[in-house]
């Protein structure tokens, strides 16, 4: 399990990067829109978050909350058009990636920021051997020869604990099991030792026993390479196991941020509280589950005011008219709670009441 000493949270300087201090990645007021026939879908509406080296940020949300779109914007793999980024900054070591040229971004992608996708079978090319696909990273980014790249690929497969790596390097994706394919995806993301890995639902398609293997491996490698990790998921169990801090998203906005222990103990947003109450527990037999009523909103017509108001039990008139901002959350006596914020008019009642 990853337990990160907070004193280590300063990024280790890389050679030649003297000016790089502050957070590894910072997303500021990011907006993403999609133009569709039915109108403009505002998938991401002003998202802010940051990740440091060696830190794990979990982005939690249901389908349609904008968590994957944010990640794709960071990677620069959104299809534009139909998508566009009207506003916002994505700072990697302080430099705004949205202002970089396509060539500059291409050099960062894979080498410094890598992504692990959910569905390993459809993310790997079925007609190329895994060794060739792994080696591609070295051939393209480092200009290695085919032979050298293959040797590196074997090394990587060993790193992610694929048994008999040398014998399997020429195998094709369909010859591997789901867990092994996900390891190959991880190996591919790790190939050039990036500073930041974005994992989009990396274990959703896997069985629990394999999920535990893969999450353990990811945590171990993250510790070893001191990478920042953005883990995108809807699984509150996985988040509790590995995250340092959490950002909860709803309808394209962050509704709550908190360090992991705090969030589970005292949620400060009714949506987070509802989510926590609605999951059955393994270690106790509960009575009837609490269910958040209604459905996640259609992004073409997000409710006015707080997007969660039609599903919220505590909603008042102000929730229907005024959109709550993400404000810092404090103790009853006004003591600051570092890292905590909530976008609810009634966060005080939610956390303390």
Provide the binding-site residues for other proteins, judged by CB under 8 A.
Answer: 1, 3, 62-63, 163, 177-180, 207-213, 215-216, 234-241, 243, 260-261, 264, 274-276, 278-283, 285-286, 288-293, 295-296
Q: H helices then E strands: how many in the chain? A: 13, 12
Q: Compute the CA torsion angle 220, 225, 228, 233 (nearest 10 deg).
A: -30
Identity of the residue, 124 or 258, whose beta carbon is nearer to other proteins in the bound complex: 258
Question: Rounded CA gap, 215 and 49, in Å?
Answer: 23
- Smallest gap, in angstroms, from Cβ of residue 124 to other proteins? 17
- Smallest gap, in angstroms, from Cβ of residue 236 to other proteins? 4
Identity of the residue, 69 or 113, whose beta carbon is nearer to other proteins in the bound complex: 69
Q: How many CB atoms lie within 10 A of CB 295?
A: 10
- Smallest gap, in angstroms, from Cβ of residue 132 to other proteins? 23
- Smallest gap, in angstroms, from Cβ of residue 292 to other proteins? 4
Identity of the residue, 209 or 335, whose beta carbon is nearer to other proteins in the bound complex: 209
How many angstroms separate the Cα of 296 from the Cα of each of 66, 307, 308?
12, 9, 8
**Bond into 77 cis (ω within 30):** no
- Smallest gap, in angstroms, from Cβ of residue 302 to other proteins? 15
- Smallest gap, in angstroms, from Cβ of residue 43 to other proteins? 16
- Smallest gap, in angstroms, from Cβ of residue 88 to other proteins? 26
Identity of the residue, 63 or 101, whose beta carbon is nearer to other proteins in the bound complex: 63
Identity of the residue, 155 or 235, whose beta carbon is nearer to other proteins in the bound complex: 235
Partners of 39 in the beta sheet? 36
Identity of the residue, 147 or 285, whose beta carbon is nearer to other proteins in the bound complex: 285
Identity of the residue, 274 or 324, whose beta carbon is nearer to other proteins in the bound complex: 274
Identity of the residue, 97 or 230, whose beta carbon is nearer to other proteins in the bound complex: 230
Contact 52, 218 (CB under 8 A): no
Q: Which residues contact 238 (CB under 8 A, 6 or more apart)?
A: 203, 211, 215, 231
How many angstroms separate the Cα of 278 from the Cα of each of 205, 281, 296, 302, 305?
22, 9, 15, 23, 24
Block residue for tokens 């949270």 = 9
- Smallest gap, in angstroms, from Cβ of residue 241 to other proteins? 5
**Closest C-alpha to 245, from 207, 254, 111, 94:** 254
Question: Rounded CA gap, 2 and 216, in Å?
Answer: 9
Contact 8, 54 (CB under 8 A): yes
């Amino acid at each position: 399990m990853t337990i990160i000493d907070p004193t280590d949270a300063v990024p280790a300087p890389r050679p030649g990067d003297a000016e790089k201090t502050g957070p590894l990645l910072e997303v500021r007021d990011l907006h993403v829109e999609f133009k569709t026939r039915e109108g403009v879908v505002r998938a991401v509406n002003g998202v802010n978050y940051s990740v440091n080296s060696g830190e794990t940020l979990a982005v939690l949300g249901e389908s349609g909350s904008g968590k994957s779109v944010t990640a794709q914007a960071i990677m620069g793999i959104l299809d534009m058009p139909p998508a566009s980024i009207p506003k916002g900054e994505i700072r990697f070591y302080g430099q705004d990636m949205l202002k970089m040229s396509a060539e500059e971004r291409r050099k960062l992608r894979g080498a410094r920021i890598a992504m692990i996708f959910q569905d390993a079978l459809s993310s790997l090319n079925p007609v190329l051997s895994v060794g060739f696909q792994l080696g591609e990273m070295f051939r393209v980014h480092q200009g290695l020869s085919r032979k050298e790249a293959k040797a590196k690929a074997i090394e990587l497969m060993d790193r992610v604990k694929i048994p008999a790596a040398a014998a399997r390097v020429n195998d094709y994706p369909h010859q591997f099991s789901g867990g092994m394919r996900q390891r190959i995806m991880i190996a591919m993301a790790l190939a050039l030792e990036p500073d930041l890995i974005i994992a989009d639902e990396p274990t959703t398609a896997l069985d629990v026993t394999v999920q535990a293997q893969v999450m353990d491996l990811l945590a171990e490698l993250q510790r070893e390479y001191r990478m920042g990790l953005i883990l995108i998921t809807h699984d509150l169990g996985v988040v509790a196991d590995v995250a340092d801090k959490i950002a909860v998203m709803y309808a394209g906005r962050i509704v709550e941020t908190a360090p992991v222990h705090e969030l589970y103990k005292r949620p400060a947003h009714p949506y987070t509280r509802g989510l926590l109450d609605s999951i059955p527990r393994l270690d106790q037999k509960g009575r009837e589950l609490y269910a958040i009523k209604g459905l996640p909103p259609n992004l073409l017509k997000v409710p006015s005011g707080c997007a969660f108001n039609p599903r919220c039990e505590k909603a008042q008139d102000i929730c229907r008219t005024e959109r709550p901002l993400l404000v810092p959350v404090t103790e009853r006596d006004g003591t600051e709670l570092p890292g905590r914020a909530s976008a609810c008019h009634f966060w005080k009642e939610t956390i303390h009441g």
